Amino acid sequence: MGQPLSPTEISTALAALPGWSVDHDALAKSFAFGSFREAMSFMGRVAFEAEELNHHPEWTNVYNRVAIRLSTHEAGGKITANDVELATRIQRISWVG
């Protein structure tokens, strides 16, 4: 699943991922939608992207909020290029920022 990225590589990736940050060796972002239905729709879209990459997020949902954390278990729970790719796809389909 890849090697952990260096701090410089992570910083470069974050520059293209608005609102994402590093939280305990994971890429993280929270999304706030207009309703529970919108949050569920978003999660469904993300699920298809994650399945295509065979790389699945750690996430939670409470009503209209979705919090996502991305790290790679096979790389010791560190951030890899796979996490950046999934975050990029998530960012591309998000309509709330």
Active site residues: 51, 55-56, 73-74, 83
How many whole angstroms separate alpha carbon 86 and alpha carbon 77? 15
Two tokens at 34? 């207009």
